[in-house]
Structure 1
Amino acid sequence: MEQPSPLYLQLLGETARIEWRELEKFFARGVLLHVGRELDLVSVAEAIASDASEQVARWLAGGLIERMSADTAADFAGRSPSLWAVVVSPWVLVQERQA
């Protein structure tokens, strides 16, 4: 099994639970990326931070990551799900976690 990279470990340490109300300002600025549950949030952050553009493009094309839609934002605001987030400037990546 491959050891995580130093960047992965750094991003893992910067990942935290967050409430939707704390993310609304990032949604309003258009810098919030929604990461599907199928992916590892920290691996996505690592790919973006390391400019792995081909992999990121595949995830975007497959709908596994996307700029947060108004529908998803409204859903999160209404349900207050368990969310995890990490910042990879200028983006804030957010993922809903299983309860």
Structure 2
Amino acid sequence: MHGTELRRKLAEETGQITWQELERHFARGALIVIGPELNLVETAARIAEDDAVSVQGWIQRGQVVRATDEHARRWVHSRSRLWAVVVAPWVLVQESEPPKIH
């Protein structure tokens, strides 16, 4: 599956998730953090399509990283909202800020 169909499928499978639901993926080393400047669905599609050039560039720029203990500590103690999508064997997550209350 490639192109528009893949992106549509990934978008449909993307959702918010709690840290507790992600802990087991973190423990097995399969949790990947996507930087806020990237589009989660597009990044997931590029990974699924084995677009090594794009992925390597993001890794080199620190925009795609394996979740660290620091990420885990922050997520445990904060109200971060995480968006997630699976691109087996990886679970990609991206932080989003809670809505501001005026």
TM normalised by structure 1 equals 0.93
Stretches of structure 1 lacking an aligned partner (at least 5 in a row): none
Matched, 1:49 2:48: yes
Matches for 1:1-99 after TM superposition, within 5 Å: 5-99=4-98
Which runs of 4 or more aligned residues in structure 1 lie more than 6 Å from their structure 2 counterparts after TM superposition?
none
Contact preservation (8 Å) 1:82, 1:96: yes
Q: Distance in 2 between matches of 1:45 and 1:80?
A: 24
Stretches of structure 2 lacking an aligned partner (at least 5 in a row): none
Which one-letter code corresponds to 1:92 in the other structure?
V
TM normalised by structure 2 equals 0.91
Aligned residue pairs total 96
Q: Distance in 1 between matches of 2:28 and 2:79?
A: 20
Q: Distance in 1 between matches of 2:51 and 2:29?
A: 21
Identical aligned pairs, as a percentage? 43
